[in-house]
Structures are given as structure tokens and as C-alpha cells.
Amino acid sequence: DGNGNAVSVFAMDSLVFVQVRDTGQNLSGALIENVSATVFDTNTGDSETLVLTELAADSGIFRNTTGLPLSDTIGVRINDGILFTGQVFAITARYVDAVTPFDSSTDTAGIARSPRNSSLAFDRSSYAPETRVVVIVTDPDRNRNPLVLDSFSVSLVSETRNDTESVLVTETSETSGVFSNAAGARISDTTGFASNDGALLVALGDTFTAVYVDAVDPTDSASALASVDTLAKAGTVAFDRDSYLQTDSVVITVFDRDRNLDPRGKDTLGVAVQNPRTGDSESLLLTETDSTSLTFTSNALVFTDTGVVVPGDGKFFASNSDTIEVLYADPLPVTVESDTAQMGITPSQGSIRFDRTNYTVFDTLQVIVHDMDRNTDPYAAETITLRRLLVSDPTGAAVENNFEVFTLVETTETSAIFTLPAPLLLSDTAFPAVVGDTVLTAGLNFTIQAEYRDPVFLDFASDSVLTIDSPMTSQVLFDRALYPLAETAFVTVVDRDENRHPGVRDTITVTVTNTNTGETEERLLRETSSTSFTFVDDTGLFLSSLLSDSLSGDGRLYVMIGNTIRVDYQDPNTPADAPFSTALIDTIPPSAGMITLVDSA
């Protein structure tokens, strides 16, 4: 040391003195002389050359007057005036006689730690679950090896949750004496139930501690306290479906990252369910599905649509088409989350029918649909769309196809019975048909089919009816009352109920008879237009005076002057409707003769 006492161990950051006794270097007994010695650390490779001064003239004892500083943080360069060493290393002093080199001497000393007070801190004052905690320890005397990054462990303690984690902290540089866990230690409110399992179990509102004890000096310790804060993430609330029936069970779910207040137990929170239309509301307590799920549920909501509305009575009043809402007031952050659902009714099979079992072409027609699940709003008369109203002729060909053009209206607010606002008029003369108008074009033995499909539940129903004959008295007549020989007779029939197809010129048959001879001829009459119900013989029947034309069915009627001809018409659908008409065969009016005289030329 500086007093010449032998020292075998130096404390870090202390001063080193080297003393040499060499009388051979006392070259002048009158002068104080100098020699040199080297101090080095083979571990760090650093060395320093010292000038040793004779303590007194003629003494032969030399010592450095200014001590050589030891350091484990600085002085890494040779001969920079500081010897770079470490706490677990050794240093060597070597002296070589400058005149007699074989005269040399060495000595070795160890390096002991220099106790320093430590400190500990977190990188922030509070942490949210699932964030990383960084611990910073400052303890210079734990820089035991200045050539490497030293490390040791500190403890994280969550007293409230009875959990402890050991965290390894590593020196930030080889000589800093500052240690931290740069990657951070995990804290969690969903895992970490066992000590040293890699996660410190905490919950919102907790505090936890970091504790450091110097392994070399147990009296040197430090600690720091941090709190557990919220992630401030808004929760979510949801019904388990978009619509409900009265008999359904309702599950309400809240997910909130910040409400797992006790990771070793199931937490609870509250929501409110309300019906803005009725004013009813109920408060429900939701329970966490397990101790760390962060998910809270309840199926305690009970529907009713009878009685009076009493908020908080345990029965939630809601009926068809009501929109119900669940509200969750999230305290952290302060937000109100919500979800809505629609009330419905139990699906039912719809039905459709006509107001009659059959119709004539002169009737009105009403369509009636009954479907309970389409009464979606018990406070208003609603509407539905008829899928199809189809009119087909006896061959199956469509005459009028009304696809999703007719709207039916509920008869009362709650009847679930829907009809056309006004009946449709059937007609055999409205041709061509106009889709969507108030007239339905049909003819005899036409099929009218109505179809209904529920747009929500897709149940299907249909009904069909036939148009039947509506007997009306017909007329038949010749175009003249008297016919001369060799004339053509034309017959006309007017039969209102034989306009069987409004899109076709219908035909009927009449029989023309010579009542005197008994000869008959069948004549085909064609409607003058597709909706005229007036039938005519386009070519007429030739009244012949030739006996050779007296064969029935030859297309000519043999007549003589004074004969009576008769035409009979039989309505094919109404036996009682059988009119006839007659005409007479008269003489040909006389004409003046002319005689012309000519000569033989």
C-alpha cells in the first residue's frame, strides 16, 4: 500500500502501490533515483508501467508515489494510467533490473469487490395484463467480470394472487453494472397460476413487487412497486342470435378484456335489456364462464307477451316485430356497447284459397292467404306479395301469368289473414290480358291457380279452381226470311257463353234441315273475333234445285219452291238452350223477255 505494507488483495477502484528493494540500483548515495516496474492483468491483457522513486537517498527502496487506480469499467488501453481488471481476477507486478536483466522479481495480488448500494426500478409505473415488465437493477459491484455480460436473478412477487416469478437480468454492457431483462417478463390475468411458470398472475387493481438481493452481500437489497392497470379495450355484448321466438332461450354474452378482476374465481358483471316500444327493461347478472375466460354469459331472460309491462319484474315483455336491445356499460374505457335482436313468432305453414270453389267468367275473384308468422307487427295491418296468379286454358297454356304483382293486405292488425284490396273481375273478352290490372282474363274450363311462398320461412301453398259455364240464352237466325232457288243461305248464332277461349276464334255447329224432304246439312260456324261470341258461316250453304244434291251431308241443300228450311243450334254445355229459326224457299221474281229479229246473213 502507500505506506509500504504488503497487500495480497486489492479492492476494486482502490490504488495499487509497488515497492522494490534493489540496492544495486542505488547508484548514487547522494541522489534519489528511479526504477520502473510493470503491473498487468493477464485476463484483460491490460498493463501499466510505473515509475518507482527511491524513498530516500542511498536507501535502495523504490515505490510509486501516486497509486495506480484499478477499474472494472474503464482503462482498457495499455499505459493509459488505469489498470483494467475484474473482481475475480488477479494482477501481477514485475520488476526487471535495467542493468542486470537476470535480476527480476514478481508479486501477485487478488481483486476483491468494492461494496456499492444497489437500486431497482421498473421501466414504468403501471402495466396492463399481457404486457411486458422490464426490471432495471443498478449494482456496480455485480460487474464481476468486465469481459462478459454478467447476469443474476430478481424476483417478481404478486402477493394478492400468491404467485412468484424469477426473472434473469443481464448486464447491458460488459462494464455497465446496469442489469435488465430487455425482453420483459410476462404478467397475465389468465395464466400463471404456479410459481416460475413463465407468467406472473395479476389482476386489475393489483400491485406487484420486484425484489433484488445481492448474492455476495445479502445486506445489499432493493425493491420496487408497480401497479396493474387496464388495457382500456372496449368490451362487446351480443345476443346469441338475430331473432327470437317467444319460446326461445336467450343467451347474452359479454367479452371484456378488462373485467377479469379475480383470475382464480369467476367474476360477474351486469347488463340491461330493454324494449324501446313497450318501455320494459330488465337487469341481468352475467357470470364468467370460467375464472380466466374474459367471457360472461346469462340465459336468464324470460319473454312474455301477455299482462302488463313492469320493468324489473323478471319477465321481459316483447312481441312480434319488436326490436330488443341489450346494453353493457363498460367502465374501462367508459363506453356503452349494445346489440339488437328482432322478435318473431313460431313458423307456421301458410295456406291459400279462393273465395269460391269455381267461377264463371262473369264473377269476381278474391284470394285469401292465412299465415300466422307473417303477422310480424301486431300494431299494423301488414301486406304480403302473392307469388303467382296464373290462368291456363284447358290445354295448359298460360293465358295470364301474374308473378309477384299482386299485394294482399291483412284484414286486421292481428288477423294474419290477407286478401286483395279489391276483388278481381273475371272476363272472357279482355284480351290480350294485361298483367297486374284488375281484370283476370279467362274462358270456359280454364284453370286459375294461386301460389303463395313465405319470404322468410319459405313455406309454400297453392290452390286452384276451374271456370264453369254460365248458361245464357242463345240466338240463331238465317240472314234472310225468303230464299230463291240457287241462293246461298248464311246462318248466324249469338251465344254469350260459347266464347270459350278469349284468345281463339271459337267454333260451333248448327244443323240446317229441309223440313219437306228431311235432308240435313251440318254447318261449322266460326266466331267473328276471339271475343265476339257471334258465330257465322263464312261460306254459306248453297240451296240447290238439282235433285242430285239431295244427299245429306254433301254440302248442298236440295230445295224446291215452297219448301221450308230450318236451322237448329244446340248449346253443347246447356241442353235446354236449343234455339232454331226457319226460312221459306220462294219463286224467283219474273223478268221481262226480249225477242230480236235478225236476217239470214
Cis? peptide before 394, omega within 30° of 0: no
- Find the range with the poorest average confidence among 67-76, 157-166, 444-453, 493-502: 67-76
With 0-12 / 13-18 / 19 or more C-beta atoms within 10 angstroms meaning exposed / middle / buried, residue 312 is exposed
Cell numbers for 100: 542486470
Phi and psi dihedrals of 497, rounded to 5? Answer: -90, 5
With CA atoms as reference, report the closest residue to 281 among 251, 252, 301, 298: 301
Check if the beta carbon of residue 73 is closer than 8 Å to that of residue 146: yes
Average pLDDT over residues 26-50: 92
Q: What is the pLDDT of residues 509-532, one digit of tens each?
A: 999 999 999 999 999 999 999 999
With CA atoms as reference, report the closest residue to 407 among 441, 369, 372: 369
Average pLDDT over residues 117-134: 95
Phi and psi dihedrals of 391, rounded to 5? Answer: -115, 125
Q: Which amino acid is at 412?
A: T
Q: Distance between CA atoms of 284 and 261, rounded to whole angstroms?
A: 19
Inform me whether the pLDDT recorded for 545 exceeds 70. yes
Give the CATH architecture of domain 236-343. Answer: Sandwich (2.60)
Q: What is the pLDDT of residues 436-475, one digit of tens each?
A: 999 999 999 999 999 999 998 999 999 999 999 999 999 9
With CA atoms as reference, report the closest residue to 523 among 502, 544, 503, 537: 537
With CA atoms as reference, report the closest residue to 438 among 451, 453, 421, 450: 421
With CA atoms as reference, report the closest residue to 189 among 237, 258, 138, 255: 258
Q: What is the pLDDT of residues 184-226, one digit of tens each?
A: 999 999 999 999 999 999 999 999 999 999 998 899 999 999 9
pLDDT tier, 2 (very low <50, low <70, confident <90, very high otherwise): confident
Q: Distance between CA atoms of 171 and 234, rounded to whole angstroms?
A: 39
Q: Distance between CA atoms of 469 and 277, rounded to whole angstroms?
A: 54
* Ranges for all domains in the chain classified under CATH 2.60.40.1930: 119-228, 236-343, 351-467, 475-585
The H-assigned helical ranges of 319-404 are: none
pLDDT of amino acid 378: 65
- Report the topology of domain 351-467: Immunoglobulin-like (2.60.40)
CA dihedral defined by 368, 373, 375, 378, rounded to 10 degrees?
Answer: 150
* CA 476 to chain centroid: 74
Inform me whether the pLDDT recorded for 597 exceeds 70. no
pLDDT of amino acid 601: 46
Check if the beta carbon of residue 476 is closer than 8 Å to that of residue 454: no
Residue 443 DSSP code? -
CATH superfamily of 119-228: Macroglobulin (MG2) domain (2.60.40.1930)
Q: What is the pLDDT of residues 304-362, one digit of tens each?
A: 876 788 999 999 988 888 999 999 999 988 999 999 999 987 788 999 999 999 999 99
Give the CATH architecture of domain 9-112. Answer: Sandwich (2.60)
Residue 446 DSSP code? -
pLDDT of amino acid 377: 72
pLDDT tier, 592 (very low <50, low <70, confident <90, very high otherwise): very low
Neighbours of 8 (CB within 10 A): 10
pLDDT of amino acid 171: 94
CATH code for the structural domain at 475-585: 2.60.40.1930
Phi and psi dihedrals of 425, rounded to 5? Answer: -90, 125
Check if the beta carbon of residue 343 is closer than 8 Å to that of residue 243: yes
- What DSSP assignment string belongs to 126-190? EE-TTSEE-EEEE-GGG---TTS--EEEEEEEETTTTEEEEEEEEESSTT--EEE-TT-EEEESS
Inform me whether the pLDDT recorded for 596 exceeds 60. no
Average pLDDT over residues 117-130: 95
Phi and psi dihedrals of 496, rounded to 5? Answer: -60, -35
Inform me whether the pLDDT recorded for 594 exceeds 50. no
- Let me know the angle formed at the C-alpha of 204 by 199 and 205, rounded to the nearest 5 degrees: 115
Average pLDDT over residues 578-591: 83
pLDDT, mean over the chain: 93
pLDDT of amino acid 26: 86
Neighbours of 601 (CB within 10 A): 3
Inform me whether the pLDDT recorded for 376 exceeds 80. no
With CA atoms as reference, report the closest residue to 174 among 197, 151, 156: 151
* CA 255 to chain centroid: 17
* CA 195 to chain centroid: 42
Q: Distance between CA atoms of 445 and 469, rounded to whole angstroms?
A: 8
pLDDT of amino acid 599: 53
- 200 contacts: CB under 8 Å, gap ≥ 6: 133, 156, 158, 163, 164, 165, 185, 186, 187, 188, 192, 208
H/E stretch holding 512? strand 507-514
Check if the beta carbon of residue 359 is closer than 8 Å to that of residue 367: no
Check if the beta carbon of residue 93 is closer than 8 Å to that of residue 70: no
